[in-house]
Structure 1
Amino acid sequence: MIKSLYIKNYALIDELEVSFGAGLNILTGQTGAGKSIIIGALNVVLGDRADTDTVREGTRKAVVEAVIGTGGRPDQVVGRLMDENEIDRNESEFILRREIRPTGSRAFVNDTPVNLSALRIIGDRLVDLHGQHDHQLLLKQDHHREVIDDLPAVRPAALTYKKQFEKVKNLRSELNRLQRRERELQEKMELYRFQLQELEAADLDPDAFEELESEMKRLDHAEELDEKAALVNYLGSESEHSLMDLMTRIEEAIQDMAGMDEEFGTYLNELQTAKVSVQELLSYAEQYRSRIEFNPDRLEELRRKQAEIRRLEKKYGLELSALAKYREEIRESVNLAENFDLELEKKQKEAAEAAGVLRDCAEKLHGARLEEGAELGKRISDTLRQLGIPNNRFETKVAWRHDNEGWIEIDGRPVACGSDGPDDVIFYISTNKGESPKPLASIASGGEISRVMLAMKSVIAREQHLPVMIFDEIDTGIGGAVAEQVGKTMHDLSKHCQIIAITHQAQIAGQADHHFSVEKRESDDRTVTRIIELDDEAHIREVASLMSGSEISEYALASARELVDRAKGR
């Protein structure tokens, strides 16, 4: 239940805090007093869109905070959201808060920042809020299916079906993609085969090409390399004053000097190391000369290979590494084309098997909708009789959605499947004896559609164990004995969940367990909205004012007292 609601700087409300009780909480007040503003603030804290114009003029931000008792552990969806958003666990209550600024808004659950989507999901799981325009939902057939699918006995079948539908949809998309790919490949196959033959004839290995260019460089400079290596050997060890001879003479001199001054010992070691390195270089140069290859034919062969690679790079507009990758891609395409029948057969088999499972899921969902829809219709019809429509018939019609493009077949006829199911779900109603039921959307009377909505909410609330229900003027188009019966129904429903309702009907207000008066006052040249909980006597006077207006007569007071006493004696 909603334990408390705090509103600050929101529209006409400067600051307001109200504590609601269990059972039926009724809000009354003059038109324009701010009752709908309070419900609007509740909508916002439950995740509805926040209009920045609602920030009270002259203030920095508006704040709406609701403390909602859970009566136990949250359901799996809410629990998962709490874990994902690292929301502090409090098994007994949630604190939802919304801060609205001219530049945007922020949302919090138990003081943890959350995105609006998470706040909306948590809010929907805790509170069912029926606004003034929600009657219109009953006139939309898509909403009828949502009502049925949200019933506990239907929801698992609906979720299983939807999951399998997505699987079949994905498989069919993959199959279509493969078929398009097959057509594209067949058109390009002659070109791909020619390109593959051309590219495979060339060595497109980047590492091998790098070695090819190195070998070309060596062959192209073979004579110069031989001359330089010979010069190194001559100057190092073969000339009259070779480098090795000079280094030996220097070594002997430093050796003598080191015997006289040990500081030269370090330089002696360094010279000996250098002498070893020079000797190794001379040995390598001599060996290198013996390996130098003078091979014009090999050089010409490498140049042809290099020219071919450069030609292919220019032709395809790709560097060597990308060219090698392209070769692999078209090789895969050619292999795929040559084995497409197997790929298609495999995917077609997968899609057919998944469609078979979808057919089973569709039949189970169809059956659940039929069974639970019939049961829901009976219970709504019973409730409508209590609400003053004695000769009503309420039915849920579930019909397969036949279409020649259907994914599955039922009784030999194709059925079009969508993410919402394989059938259409439509509510039918007759409110007068002897009339055949017609689609609910054909109801013109506001009073009748209000009672249908209340009956539906009443039945579904018991099914879904909703902790809180809010009604914003569900009494549209009714009055008198019908209004009193609506009030009784709401009070009976409030035994199963907390109800907060705005009404202008005395017969409904008289049923209140907790009655709140909303009024607009002038304060410091500003208009503000206030809400107060009425005691028993004030409750009776407020019911009387709903009967007779601002001038409360003794007759109205007596009638109000009788109405309230009758409600308490239930």
Structure 2
Amino acid sequence: MLTELSIKDFAIIDEVSITFNEGLTVLTGETGAGKSIIIDAIQLLSGSRGSVEFVRHGTNKASIEGLFSIAANHPVYQKGEEFGIEIEEDGMVVLQRTITSQGKSICRINGKLVTLAILREFGRSLIDIHSQHETQSLMDSDRHIELLDLYASRELKRTKEEYKKSYHEFLSLRKRFKELGENEQEMAQRLDLLGFQLRELQQAELKPLEDEELEEERKKLLNYEKLYKGIHDSYYSLYGEQKGLDWLSHSMAALESAAEYEEQTKKLSEELTNAYYIIEEISFQLSMQMSDLEFDPERLNQIESRLDEINRLKKKYGASVEDMLEYVSKIEEEIEEITNKDLHLNRLEERILEAGKDAVIEAKHLHEIRKKSAGKLSKSISRELKDLYLEKAAFEVDFSFREGKEQDPELDGQKVQLNKNGIDTVTFLITTNPGEPLKEIHKTASGGELSRIMLALKHIFSRHQGVTSVIFDEVDTGVSGRVAQAIAEKIYGISEGSQVLCISHLPQVAAMSDTHIRIEKQVKNNRTSTKVYELAKDEKADEISRMITGAELTETTLDHARELLALAEKHKTLTS
């Protein structure tokens, strides 16, 4: 969850630090007090585009920092490994975003500088933001297949992996077929280039590990004097009268004479004897190595020349001799392929056909799982919509295929176009009025209905997304009465599975909160700033009363506020 948020010199906020709790946190305040500015700051923290307009007038930069605590199995750990960002076992992740007055954006994760794209990757795994504008994004039909797959993620996981393998193989073969089938002039030019590269590498007569062996020999020759002195001094410290071996021999003889009187001394004597012969062998090898050492300046020149040639080739063909030898094999294969192009094109056609069949089989399996899950999803959403007083609404998942071209694979005798998701195009359809046909969501629902439909979808999908924090920015606009109460209960239901932060003007939603934060705008020294503070229990009733009347507090509105709070507590008790 989002544990703490610090904002400095951002829009009308000079400096604010907010501590967030688990469950449902509601942020309220007058229009223009800065509620949505806080959501804007969180959006920037999750990777949205920044602007110099966000930097508070008269300051050099705006800075935002968010501390998140995550569970042990959270997807962010995997992203940390992917991007080389260390996440400690305590599960703390710190996102930082700075925007300068010159428009420069600086992003950090756990103190490490990252790109905006990487910050966005982490942000999407930690925060899910929904506003009145985001509702339209959720209704985008291009995202519907992602939502359906999210709902059916467990059932789809293995089949999706198998499909991806088949699909990538299919695309790879198609790409190779296209490259090989290019016009004769391009193929002839490619053949000339490959021929030149092959001759250059073959003339070099490279040998496996040659570069490593030459580097070792070069190092030895360059350090000949140090090497010789080290071996010479070591040898003459061991060998000769009154030297190491001589004294070891005296020690060995002395211990042997005492060994017959005690078992432990006998054991030490044997170990010393073994050590003596080992060191004697080492001194012999040192003597041989000293005799073999020879400085050959001509050989050093030959090595330098050969390494220069190898390093020149490395710049063109690979980081090591092994890489270059492997490249030789690839060149030979490609030359043979181009030379016998027609034969290879025929073979590729056969392989593309087989790969297409395999991919279609997996795509069909994906379709069957999605179809089954779509039925369950439709029933779940219908139940959610009834809770939100859209009893007559009907929801359905529509499937269609994109018709393929001549070169595309077939499914049940029909050409189909494969894509990263298989063969399916998924669209969510809904009607809120009996007798009216099902249509795409954005074409049939009013503003208030869109809010409820979005909330129903969010309530279902939040169980599958695994995000740390869900944020709602005035998604309850355009509703009132019993619908407002239903929305409040639904938002609270989402908070039971993950932390929810909600900006709302509905007293019913505020009453349902576990934590209530009020945001106020104040003017000091002719500068506007935003103040944020958490309400106590009695203050919460006063704030809800103001939300009901929008004017002065009365005992009647206070009683109404207290009644809403009592109803909220009763609902929480019944659902816990």
**TM-score greater than 0.5 by the shorter chain:** yes
CA contact (8 A) 1:157 1:368 kept: no
Structure 2 counterparts to residues 211-226 of structure 1, below 5 A: none
User: Aligned residue for 1:169?
Assistant: 171
Amino acid of the structure 2 residue aligned with 1:8 = K
Structure 1 residue 562 displacement after superposition = 0.6
Q: State the Cα distance separating 1:535 from its structure 2 match.
A: 0.8
Q: 1:185–1:539: structure 2 CA closer, same or farther, 3 Å change rule?
A: closer
The 3 A distance-change label for structure 1 pair 129 and 163 is farther
Q: 8 Å contact 2:150–2:464 — kept in the other structure?
A: no
* Equivalent-residue separation in structure 2 for 1:107 and 1:185 (angstroms): 46
The 1:133–1:405 alpha-carbon spacing in structure 2 relative to 1, beyond 3 Å, is: farther
**2:114 corresponds to which residue?**
114
- Matched with 2:375 is 374
Q: 2:20: which partner in 1?
A: 20
Could you tell me which residue of structure 2 aligns to residue 547 of structure 1?
Answer: 548
CA–CA separation in structure 1 for the residues paired with 2:40 and 2:457: 23
Q: 1:220-259 alignment to 2 at 5 Å?
A: none
Structure 1: 5+ residue stretches without partners: 197-204, 208-330
Look up the match of 1:437.
Answer: 438
SS in 2 for 1:150: helix
For 1:84, the equivalent position in structure 2 comes to 83
Residue type of the partner of 1:113? L
How far 1:459 sits from its partner (Å)? 0.4
Partner of 1:466, secondary structure, is coil
Q: Which amino acid aligns with 2:461?
A: I
- SS of 2:375's partner is helix
Contact (CA 8 Å) 1:74, 1:91: kept in 2 or not?
Answer: no
Give the counterpart letter for 1:31 in structure 2: T
Paired with 1:177 and 1:20, the residues of 2 have a C-alpha distance of 56
**1:85 and 1:102 mapped to 2: Cα distance?**
30
- Cα distance change, pair 90–63 in 1 and its aligned pair in 2 (3 A): farther
The answer to whether the 8 A contact 1:369-1:398 is kept is no
**Residues 244-288 of structure 1, C-alpha deviation per residue, up to 9 Å, x if partnerless?**
xxxxxxxxxxxxxxxxxxxxxxxxxxxxxxxxxxxxxxxxxxxxx
Q: Which TM-score applies when normalising by structure 2?
A: 0.70
Match of 2:476 in 1: 475
Q: Which amino acid aligns with 1:171?
A: L
Which deviations, in whole Å up to 9, do the C-alpha atoms of 1:206-234 show, x marking residues without a partner? 99xxxxxxxxxxxxxxxxxxxxxxxxxxx
Alignment match, 1:387 = 388
Q: Give unpaired runs (5+ residues) of structure 2.
A: 196-201, 205-331, 572-576
CA distance in structure 2 between the partners assigned to 1:468 and 1:502 by the alignment? 14
The Cα shift of 1:510 comes to: 1.4
Q: Which residue of 2 aligns with 1:65?
A: 65
Q: Deviations over 1:433-466 (max 9, x none)?
A: 3434222131240111111111111101112333
> Mean Cα displacement is larger for which, 409-418 or 436-445?
436-445
Cα separation, 1, equivalents of 2:484 and 2:157 = 33
Secondary structure of 1:390 counterpart: coil
Q: In structure 2, how many angstroms separate the alpha carbons of the residues matched to 1:333 and 1:97?
A: 49
SS class of match (1:550): coil
Paired position in structure 2 for 1:255: none
SS at match of 1:519: strand
Pick which of 472-481 and 370-379 moved more. Answer: 370-379
Q: Which whole-Å CA distance do the structure 2 matches of 1:437 and 1:406 have between them?
A: 35
Check the 8 A contact 2:427/2:440 in 1, yes or no.
yes
Distance 1:493 1:526 in 2: 38
| 8 Å contact from structure 1 (residues 470, 499) kept in 2 | yes
CA change 1:172–1:567 in 2 (3 A) is same
1:178 partner amino acid: L
| Cα distance, 1:472–1:406 mapped onto 2, change above 3 Å | farther
Separation of aligned partners in 2, 1:127 and 1:546: 28
Q: 1:558 to 1:355 in 2, by over 3 A?
A: same
How far has the Cα of 1:82 moved from its partner?
Answer: 4.0
Equivalence for 1:2: 2
Return closer, same or farther for 1:182/1:537 CA change in 2, 3 Å cut-off. same
* Counterpart for residue 415 of structure 1: 416
Q: Whole-Å Cα distance in 2 between the matches of residues 339 and 440 of structure 1?
A: 55
Which residues of 2 match residues 311-350 of structure 1 at below 5 A?
Answer: 339-350=340-351
CA distance in 1, matches of 2:88, 2:538: 41
- Quote the offset at 1:83 in angstroms: 5.5
1:485-509 Cα distance to aligned partner (Å, 9 max, x none): 1001111221111100011111211
- Measured in 1, the distance between the counterparts of 2:135 and 2:127 equals 18
Relative to structure 1, is the Cα distance of residues 96 and 156 closer, same or farther in structure 2, using a 3 angstrom cutoff? farther
The Cα of 1:148 is off from its aligned counterpart by: 1.6
| Counterpart secondary structure, 1:399 | strand
Change in Cα spacing, 1:47 to 1:332, as seen in structure 2 (3 Å) is closer
Q: Give distance in 2, aligned partners of 1:19 and 1:91.
A: 18
What's the CA shift for 1:132?
A: 2.7
Give the deviation of 1:60 after TM superposition: 1.9
Which moved further from structure 2: 406-415 or 512-521?
A: 406-415
> Match of 2:505, as an amino acid?
H
Aligned twin of 2:101: 102
* Contact residue 81 and residue 118 of structure 1 kept, 8 A: no
Greater shift in the superposed pair: 436-445 or 553-562: 436-445
> Within 1, Cα distance between the matches of 2:406 and 2:498?
46
Q: Does the 8 Å CA contact 1:443/1:449 hold for their aligned counterparts?
A: no
CA positional deviation for 1:28? 0.8
Instruction: Determine if the alignment matches structure 1 residue 513 to structure 2 residue 508.
Output: no
Residues 370, 397 of structure 1: 8 Å contact kept: no
Distance of 2:95 and 2:339 partners within structure 1:
61
Conserved 8 A contact 2:85-2:110: no
RMSD: 2.9
Three-state SS of the structure 1 residue aligned to 2:27 is strand
1:61-109 Cα distance to aligned partner (Å, 9 max, x none): 211111111132432x642434633434244221111122123121111
Q: Which residue is 1:503 aligned to? A: 504
Q: 1:341 to 1:86 in 2, by over 3 A?
A: same
Q: Spell out, residue by residue over 1:457-478, the C-alpha distance to the aligned partner (whole angstroms, 9 max, x if none).
A: 1101112333311011110221
Alpha-carbon contact 1:88-1:112 (below 8 Å) kept: no
Normalising by structure 1, report the TM-score. Answer: 0.71
**1:395-442 alpha-carbon deviations (Å, 9 max, x no partner):** 111222233446221111111122343121000112233434222131
Indicate the SS of the match to 2:142: helix
Name the SS of the counterpart of 1:133 in structure 2: helix
Equivalent residue for 1:53? Answer: 53
Work out the CA distance in 1 between the residues paired with 2:333 and 2:366. 43
1:93 corresponds in structure 2 to 92
Q: Percent of counterpart pairs with the same letter?
A: 34
Structure showing greater radius of gyration is 1
What is the SS of the residue equivalent to 2:182?
helix
The secondary structure found in structure 1 opposite 2:181 is helix
